[in-house]
Amino acid sequence: MQIKDIRKSFRSGETVEEVLKGVDITLHEGEVTALVGTSGSGKSTLLTIAAGLQSSSDGSVLFEGKDLTLMNQEEIRQIRASAFGFVFQSAHLVPFLTVEEQLSLMLDVAHSALSKKERKAATAQMIEQVGLTHRKNAYPASLSGGEKQRVAIARALVHQPKILFADEPTAALDSKRSHDIMKQIQTLTKQMGIAVLLVTHDEEMLQYADRVVEMRDGVVV
């Protein structure tokens, strides 16, 4: 993905606030890129624009050579479902689905071409990779915070996306669980050749990044 000269402004009455002022970043497969900076520096805004979750005021986001900023909402939605994975501060699990069903639903959303047997195998393998085979039939209410985030990672990767967007994935966890989660993100995405764009405030998590990009007042510094 090539993020080119991205700008974002918000209007509040007579005032125009420029949140992003021309940001350029390239994401590479198998590489974890961490975005850091103080609150209000534009990190999360940039991530949501790159992920097609909101529009930019100017600039382009090229994914495999195609510009997301020129696509309609349905085209962007299809790319998000099939080629992107998401992990946020909250796991956002569906409360009435088991761990196994959470992943199966993601394959449905991504319109996976796998057969029913292949889907079951892919789901089982991903659950095993995050160490939750013994919890595959558990519902979110019975999971710890760390387990919920591991399910969120498994769900984000089960359809083998090209890019993982992670916005403060460890913010609600203690130090040990934070390191466990980042180790899993680092290991799995490198094994699968997935590009990662990570937003974090936690400097301890930067050891898991291949590249650290610092933002300040809407620009890369």
Task: Give tens-digit pLDDT for 142-199.
Answer: 999 999 999 999 999 999 999 999 999 998 888 998 999 999 999 999 999 999 999 9
Cα→Cα distances 105→36, 58, 174, Å: 32, 34, 29
| pTM, entire model | 0.93
pLDDT at position 172 is 86
Ranges of the chain whose pLDDT falls below 50? none
Partners of 25 in the β-ladder: 3
Distance separating alpha carbons of residues 100 and 38, to the nearest angstrom = 37
Q: Which domains does the chain have, with CATH numbers?
A: 2-220 (3.40.50.300)
149 class by beta-carbon count within 10 Å (0-12 exposed, 13-18 middle, 19+ buried): buried
Q: Residue 163 has which token pair?
A: 């890019």
Residue keyed to tokens 């990767």: 157
Query: What size, in residues, is the chain?
Result: 221
DSSP, collapsed to helix, strand or coil, labels residue 201 as coil
**DSSP three-state, residue 151:** helix
Query: Angle formed by the axes of helices 116-129 and 99-109, to 10°?
Result: 120
Cα 137 to chain centroid, rounded: 25
Show contacts of 100-105: CB within 8 Å, 24+ apart.
100/124, 100/127, 100/136, 100/137, 102/151, 102/154, 102/155, 103/127, 103/151, 103/154, 103/155, 103/158, 105/155
